[in-house]
């Protein structure tokens, strides 16, 4: 069986943590931030974890699953 290649578009957007979870960053942060509330902007700064079946798919695309 051939080696699994890394999908570079996914690798640029996501990261595998040391415990094996998939970490990603929030979208909607590049422009038009004036209309968003202070609370929303503060929450968007932090990263989040991908859950469920999508996390399994992303791990496979990253060549780790």
Q: What is the pLDDT of residue 1?
A: 75
**Which own/partner contact pairs does 13-22 have at CB distance under 8 Å and 24+ positions apart?**
14/50, 14/58, 14/62, 16/59, 16/62, 16/64, 17/49, 20/59, 20/64, 21/49, 21/50, 21/55, 22/49, 22/50, 22/55, 22/58, 22/59, 22/62
Q: What is the pLDDT of residue 23?
A: 97
Tens digit of each residue's pLDDT, the chain (65 residues) = 788 889 999 999 999 999 999 999 999 999 999 999 999 999 999 999 999 999 999 999 999 87
Which domains does the chain possess?
8-61 (4.10.410)
Q: What is the pLDDT of residue 3?
A: 83
Q: What is the pLDDT of residue 4?
A: 83
pTM above 0.85, yes or no: no
């Amino acid at each position: 069986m051939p080696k699994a290649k890394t999908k570079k578009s996914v690798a640029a957007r996501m990261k595998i943590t040391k415990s094996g979870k998939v970490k990603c960053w929030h979208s909607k942060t590049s422009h038009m931030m004036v209309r968003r509330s202070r609370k929303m902007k503060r929450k968007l700064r932090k990263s989040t974890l991908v859950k469920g079946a999508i996390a399994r798919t992303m791990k496979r695309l990253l060549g780790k699953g």
